[in-house]
Amino acid sequence: MDPWLMCQTDLTISGTIITKFEDNFVPPFTKLPDSEEYLANLEAKLRKLQLNPNILSQLAAKKEACMQQLLKTSTELDDEILTLEEPIENLQILRTVTPQQALTQGELVELIKYDQLKYEDCGDKLDESSFASR
């Protein structure tokens, strides 16, 4: 008895051989109810842009104005940022013995000061006690 005999036979349904997938892998496409209105709105906006011959010159002028503003603004570096990048004086032997040390001042800054969940738990307990006292 051959164990692979069933796999070698062709799958036939009512005498026809199936040689394709059941799914064509194309997602079904249905238009949204307001798609025609949306397209009409976009086409109206496009017509407005095409009717205005100055639109390209206006966009170029706006771009130039933005570039001039960026060039004219002062780019002073914040002293706080500079102090965060200062290296910390650590001895090389201490870094070898305890490698989890900060290398710059910025690594010592406390990013998250409070644990939000801790205070939410306390708030829930306070709410329950205030309801019990009523």
Does residue 56 belong to any structural domain of this protein? yes
Q: Name the token pair of 70.
A: 């960026």
Where in the sequence is the domain holding 61, given as residue range(s)? 39-72
Does residue 16 belong to any structural domain of this protein? no
Does residue 55 belong to any structural domain of this protein? yes
pLDDT tens, the chain, 134 aa long: 566 665 555 555 566 777 888 888 888 888 889 999 999 999 999 998 888 888 888 989 999 999 998 888 766 656 656 677 777 777 777 777 777 777 777 777 776 666 666 766 655 555 555 555 54
88 dihedral zone (left: phi>0; alpha: psi -120 to 50; beta): beta
Does residue 80 belong to any structural domain of this protein? no
Does residue 81 belong to any structural domain of this protein? no
Q: Does residue 90 sit in the same domain as residue 133? A: yes
CA distance 3 to 56: 74
Q: Name the token pair of 57.
A: 């010159």
Stated pTM of the model: 0.30
CA distance 134 to 127: 11
Number of domains in the chain: 2
